[in-house]
Amino acid sequence: MVRHLATVLSRFPVLVAGIALAGAATAARADSMPDGIIVGPWIIAPSLTTSYEAEDNVFLEKDNDAVDDRVTTFAGDIRAWLPFSNSRLELGYRASKEDYAESVFPRDTTEQAHVRLELNFKTGDTLSFSDDYRRDFARSEEVDVGGELTFNGEPYNLNRWQVELSRTDPGRQGYVIRVRRQDFIYEGEQDIGFFEYRGFHNVFEYRQPLPEGRNWVMRYESKRFNHYDPEGAVGVPFRQEVTDAVQFGLRGFLGPQQPFRVHLGYGRFRYDGQKESKFEGIVGTASWRLRLGGRTKLDLEAIRRPLPSNFETHYINNAVRAELAREWLRFEAGTELELVKNDYADDVVDLDCSGRRKDDTYEVDVHWGWRVHERLKFRISSFHAKRSSTCDSADYSATGFQTGFSVGWF
C-alpha cells in the first residue's frame, strides 16, 4: 500500500528568531550526531530509493469496485545537520515520483521539507523551532489518522509550525510545552470527500521523578481546529473542533532498553456552538518497547481518542499495534499487526448504514530485508488489510506486495 508517513514541514519564519537565540545556548549534554558525510561543519546524509508495488485495491473500495494497479516509485532524500555549542540545526528534503501503470492522478510527484533548530542550555532545557511542509496526493495517515475515509488522488498541501520548550532529563523534574499550528488544504478544483482544516494542537506536560529512572506525568492536551468545505466559501469554516484532555501516567524503563509510557485520563470533544455530537469520557495512550537479546525488538502501542468525522458527527478511535522484528547477520525479518475499531456517536445519514456506523479494521504486514552493504539495502514486504462496517459501502479488503532497494544513508 502506498504510504506517506513522514512528518511534513515548511517555511522558515521562526528560524530567524531562533538563530538570534543560538548564542545563548551552551554545552549541556552530548547528543549523538547521526551518521553521514562530513562537509566542513555539516553532516550530510543523502539517499536514493526505488520500489515496485502491486496492489489489488488501490482506492480501498468494495470488492466489486476494486481497482488493481502497479506503481514504480523513485525518491531522493537529503538530510543535513549543523552541530554548534551542543545544539544543532537540522534540514531535510525529500522528493519522489510515483508512476502508476493504470491510474491517473492530478499529481504524480511529492515533496517533503523539514527545518528544525534545537538549542540546548546548560540548565538542561531545550528550546526548538520547527517548520514542516508536505506536498502530496492520494492517501495519507497524516491527513485522516483514524482511517475513516479513503482518497482518490486529490493533491493537497500540509504545513506544520511548532515551538517546543522542554526538560526531559531522567531523575529531574521536567516539563514539555509544545505549541503547533497545522494547516491542511487541497490544491486545485477536485471532487473532495474530506474537509480542510486549520488550527492549533498544544501540549503541556509536567514530569515528577520517581525511583529507578521513572517519572510520574501530568499532561494536558488541547486542539482547536476550524473545518472548511473545500467547495464552499473561501475562509469561512462550517464548524470548529474543540478537544481537551487531562491525563496522568507513568513513563520510564521497565528494564534495560525497555522504555514504556502509560497515560490515562478524561477527555472532552465537541463542535463549538453545537449541542449535538459531544464526547466526555476516558482517553489514553500506552506504549512499550522491548529489546530482547540485542537483536529482537517488540513494540506495543494502544490508543483511545475522539476524532472528528467528515460527516456531522465524531467517532471514538480505538487502536492497538504490535510489531515484532529480528535481525541476524545482515538480514532482518518482521511482522506488524494493527487493529482499529471506530465507533460513531451519531447516525451517518450520508451513507446506507444498518444502524449507527461502526468500523472494524485490521492490517497485517510482513517484511524481509537484506543489508547487502553498509550503504545498500534490499527489502520486500507484503500486506493484507480488511475493514468491516455497518455501512455497506465502507467495507473493503486489499492485498499487495512491494519490493525495492535503498542506496546511501538511510
- Of the candidates 138, 13, 127, which has an alpha carbon nearest to the alpha carbon of residue 71? 138
pLDDT tens sequence across 36-95? 999 999 999 999 999 999 999 988 888 888 999 999 999 999 999 999 988 999 999 999
Q: What pLDDT score does 13 carry?
A: 35
Q: What pLDDT score does 137 carry?
A: 83
Which is more confident, 404 or 151? Answer: 404
Cell digits of residue 298: 517488540
- Determine the Cα–Cα distance for residues 319 and 365; give it in Å rounded to an integer: 16
Predicted confidence band at 191 (pLDDT cuts at 50, 70, 90)? low
Question: Beta strands 239-253 and 214-228: pairing type?
Answer: antiparallel
Element (H, E) at 330: none
Task: Considering only CA atoms, give the Rg of the chain.
Answer: 22
Q: What pLDDT score does 145 carry?
A: 86
Distance of CA 274 to the CA centre of its chain: 29
pTM: 0.86
In percent, how much of the chain has pLDDT > 70? 89
- Of the candidates 29, 153, 48, 43, which has an alpha carbon nearest to the alpha carbon of residue 376? 48
Q: What pLDDT score does 104 carry?
A: 86
- Determine the Cα–Cα distance for residues 136 and 130; give it in Å rounded to an integer: 20
Element (H, E) at 180: strand 174-186
Which is more confident, 33 or 199? Answer: 199
Span 395-408, average pLDDT? 96
| DSSP tag of 18 | H
Q: What pLDDT score does 5 carry?
A: 28
Predicted confidence band at 107 (pLDDT cuts at 50, 70, 90)? confident
- Residue 137, beta-bridge partner list: none
Residue 96's alpha-carbon distances to 78, 103, 109, 144, 408, in angstroms, are: 12, 17, 6, 21, 16
| b/e sequence 238-276, b meaning 16+ C-beta within 10 Å | ebbbbbebebebbbbeeeeeeebbbbebebebbbeeeee
pLDDT tens sequence across 134-164? 999 866 666 788 888 777 788 899 999 999 9
CB of 248 within 8 A of CB of 242? Answer: no
Q: What pLDDT score does 140 carry?
A: 64
Q: How many CA atoms lie within 13 A of 176 on its CB side?
A: 15
Predicted confidence band at 214 (pLDDT cuts at 50, 70, 90)? very high
Predicted confidence band at 113 (pLDDT cuts at 50, 70, 90)? very high
In single-letter form, the type of residue at position 400 comes to G
- Tell whether the model's pLDDT for residue 11 goes beyond 60: no
| DSSP tag of 34 | P
- Determine the Cα–Cα distance for residues 155 and 105; give it in Å rounded to an integer: 8
Q: Which of 125-134, 152-161, 314-323 has the weakest average pLDDT?
A: 152-161
Which is more confident, 292 or 48? Answer: 48
- Determine the Cα–Cα distance for residues 406 and 54; give it in Å rounded to an integer: 19
Predicted confidence band at 204 (pLDDT cuts at 50, 70, 90)? very high
Q: What pLDDT score does 153 carry?
A: 81
Average pLDDT, rounded, for the chain: 88
